[in-house]
């Protein structure tokens, strides 16, 4: 067995268990048991549990951010100066995710859930790590979004981006959805691609909704359609 075999077995087991149970709720002993390696191997190869968490993310995120950069390059080249549309930008992102070379068919679902957990569980070290390591593609995506929705005020755009992020991360990170994806609980086939093809129109429509009708929050009556 090569030396890196243990490292990969740990990463595989950790990725799956973190996605299923969250970070704090997954112990190193669970991971090493599932990976069939010794408990000390984690601290030997990664240094600490937090560093292992970072490694799990880096294994997916580093090649993904490269793929995303080239997708954005291609998109902007195709648009010849004109800013890409919202739909194009969203599709570039989701297609990059879907096209990622995956270790197995559930790779993306698992990783989407991990991303959701990263945002939701207040693991300070993880947020800091992700923001430091991958600020560049993230900032570029934000810039594209801004150029694609010039009609929105900065505040409106800020909140709607938050909503998009929420719909995406939460959907992928909700255990129900994950279970559906993984074991096809619904009759229909439920691939990540299919979810994405449902999600993108939802997001685009919400993002381009008419001016937020600021219904006075204290009014007694609700406006009728």
Partner DNA sequence: GTCTGTTTGAAACATACGTTTGACGCCGTT
Partner DNA sequence: AACGGCGTCAAACGTATGTTTCAAACAGAC
Task: List residues binding DNA (CB under 7 A).
Answer: 1, 3, 5-6, 26-30, 37-45, 48-50
Rounded to a whole number of angstroms, the minimum distance from the CB of residue 223 to a second copy is: 7
Q: Is residue 212 within the footprint of a second copy (CB under 8 A)?
A: yes
Rounded to a whole number of angstroms, the minimum distance from the CB of residue 199 to a second copy is: 6
| Long-range contacts, stretch 95-102, CB < 8 angstroms, 24+ apart | 95/71, 96/64, 96/67, 96/68, 96/71, 97/64, 97/192, 97/196, 98/192, 98/193, 98/196, 99/67, 100/60, 100/63, 100/64, 100/67, 101/63
Q: Which of 75, 125, 137, 149 binds a second copy (CB under 8 A)?
A: 75
Question: Distance between CA atoms of 215 and 219, rounded to whole angstroms?
Answer: 8
Question: Distance between CA atoms of 212 and 225, rounded to whole angstroms?
Answer: 15
Rounded to a whole number of angstroms, the minimum distance from the CB of residue 148 to DNA is: 42
Site for a second copy in 129-158 (CB under 8 A): 155-156, 158
Q: Is residue 77 within the footprint of a second copy (CB under 8 A)?
A: no
132 three-class SS: helix
- Interface residues with a second copy (CB under 8 A) are 20-22, 24-25, 75, 85, 87-88, 91-92, 95, 98, 116-117, 119-122, 155-156, 158-160, 162-171, 173-175, 177, 186, 188, 191, 193-210, 212-215, 217-218, 222-225
């Amino acid at each position: 067995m090569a030396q890196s075999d243990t490292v990969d077995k740990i990463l595989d087991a950790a990725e799956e268990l973190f996605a299923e149970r969250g970070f704090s709720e997954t112990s190193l002993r669970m991971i090493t048991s599932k990976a069939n390696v010794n408990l000390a191997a984690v601290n030997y190869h990664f240094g600490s549990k937090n560093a292992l968490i970072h490694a799990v993310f880096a294994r997916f995120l580093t090649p993904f951010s490269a793929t995303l950069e080239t997708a954005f390059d291609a998109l902007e080249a195709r648009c010849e100066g004109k800013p890409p549309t919202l739909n194009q930008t969203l599709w570039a992102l989701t297609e990059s995710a879907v096209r990622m070379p995956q270790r197995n068919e559930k790779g993306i679902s698992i990783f989407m859930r991990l991303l959701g957990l990263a945002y939701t569980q207040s693991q300070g070290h993880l947020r800091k790590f992700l923001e430091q390591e991958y600020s560049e593609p993230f900032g570029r995506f934000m810039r594209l979004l801004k150029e694609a929705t010039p009609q929105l005020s900065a505040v409106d755009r800020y909140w709607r981006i938050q909503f998009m992020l929420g719909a995406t991360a939460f959907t992928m990170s909700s255990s129900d959805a994950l279970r559906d994806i993984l074991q096809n609980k619904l009759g229909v086939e439920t691939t990540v691609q299919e979810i994405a093809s449902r999600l993108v129109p939802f997001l685009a429509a919400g993002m381009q909704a008419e001016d937020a009708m600021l219904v006075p929050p204290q009014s007694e009556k609700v406006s009728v359609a």
